[in-house]
Structure 1
């Protein structure tokens, strides 16, 4: 009797394991544990942001103007040395290092944007249309990169948490999540997807094909649209006034 019971329990356990395996295989890639995404894209974009900061007029940067870009490059070098090929979950300090890097990029660009806006309002900035448009364009593009980094770092706990499949509920709803038949079975959002989200939000001043689901995502997109709108309106209006 006990042997029959043990056999039945063993068969039941095997069935349950098979069902669990089937469920894991049927789940989309963005909901299950996968390999970390390649690091090259986010590294290249951060280098572009640092270059844009160094190209801005030094009077708009925190002094000394080279300090924040140097710290950003040091943090980026540390992250790349720890995870040279892929953004993979290893230690908690890597995520803290990544957040510190994004905070520095945000601080540098936010300071430059604020100085530019104050200068435009006071009439101390924007005496020549060409340099003004280049400066405003650099700040605007860096702003796109900054918010792309925040979206990428916070969606479902960040890239390392997404690789582990820890959080099942997304903060951003991509088209491939709604219509999985239009994407490969191993599709999951990567940094370039968040960069596209940030760019379209900065140009359309509203969501396009990617919908924010959580409250923090909605508030962050609203903040980005506001910053982009103020920057574009003031810079373009001043440039048009100079040309006239």
Structure 2
């Protein structure tokens, strides 16, 4: 169970992350039949089954956490990352061989995998950084695990007043799922950190893996489009 709110920050809403997860699972399930349907449906079923006890524990706001709930939430995000990486490898094989899918189907599958990847890594970043959403909202800053990521708000306290007012030091700001989803998107598009910097080895490894997947996907889709024009 989490202690009383020590930062004066309201516990984060559960539903933005739930909606993101359901979108990712839906996109993953809707991939063409060439993408191992048995595996896809099994992953979706497991992901939804994992969500049920997490919703029972925190139906509206993320106020409570146990060891099993933390491990379950991280495992859920990892499951989606690994399953979507398998789909990405399959897509690479399809893009580099003649395959049985037409160009439009492959293009749509590429978009589905890319969006799923953004959400999956966003969920993983959100669950791991500084101990996760419950820790970020309820723990004293001195008691939080070391940060995996540095946000602009973490160092804006000495900026001009209207900027400093939103800094974590002055306002008690803590990152939410939307913040992690946003920088997952920017990392996947820029193939490098933008406004949020990785600090730990695991953060650099995760962001590197996401950026590499996005780059390979974009390069192969462009190459396939050029080949269709010739």
Any conservation in 2 of the 1:128–1:239 contact (CA below 8 Å)? no
Any conservation in 2 of the 1:89–1:163 contact (CA below 8 Å)? no
Paired with 2:106 and 2:196, the residues of 1 have a C-alpha distance of: 32
Q: Which has the higher helix share?
A: 1
Paired with 2:145 and 2:83, the residues of 1 have a C-alpha distance of: 34
Any conservation in 1 of the 2:7–2:172 contact (CA below 8 Å)? no
Residue of 61, 71, 85 corresponding to 1:110? 85
**Please, what TM-score do these two structures have when normalized by structure 1?**
0.80
Residue 171 (1) aligns with residue 182 (2): no
Paired with 1:129 and 1:240, the residues of 2 have a C-alpha distance of: 11
- The 1:79–1:37 alpha-carbon spacing in structure 2 relative to 1, beyond 3 Å, is same
**5+ unaligned residues in a row in structure 1: which ranges?**
1-28
Any conservation in 1 of the 2:150–2:198 contact (CA below 8 Å)? yes
Residue 137 (1) aligns with residue 111 (2): yes
Which residue number corresponds to residue 160 of structure 2? none
Residue of 37, 42, 47 corresponding to 1:72? 47
1:67-105 superposed Cα distances (whole Å, 9 cap, x missing partner)? 111111111122112110112233211111112211221
Any conservation in 2 of the 1:72–1:104 contact (CA below 8 Å)? yes
Any conservation in 2 of the 1:129–1:243 contact (CA below 8 Å)? no
Any conservation in 2 of the 1:33–1:162 contact (CA below 8 Å)? no
- The 1:135–1:94 alpha-carbon spacing in structure 2 relative to 1, beyond 3 Å, is same
138-147 or 165-174, larger mean C-alpha shift: 165-174
State the Cα distance separating 1:239 from its structure 2 match: 2.4
Paired with 2:138 and 2:39, the residues of 1 have a C-alpha distance of: 40
State the Cα distance separating 1:238 from its structure 2 match: 0.8
State the Cα distance separating 1:168 from its structure 2 match: 6.1
Which residue number corresponds to residue 16 of structure 1? none
Which residue number corresponds to residue 203 of structure 2? 217
**How many residues end up aligned between the 2 structures?**
214
Residue of 185, 191, 203 corresponding to 2:177? 191
State the Cα distance separating 1:214 from its structure 2 match: 1.8
- The 1:169–1:104 alpha-carbon spacing in structure 2 relative to 1, beyond 3 Å, is closer
State the Cα distance separating 1:153 from its structure 2 match: 1.1
Which residue number corresponds to residue 25 of structure 2? 50
Any conservation in 2 of the 1:153–1:159 contact (CA below 8 Å)? yes
Residue of 192, 207, 226 corresponding to 1:206? 192
Which residue number corresponds to residue 161 of structure 2? none
- The 1:33–1:168 alpha-carbon spacing in structure 2 relative to 1, beyond 3 Å, is farther
Larger Rg: 1
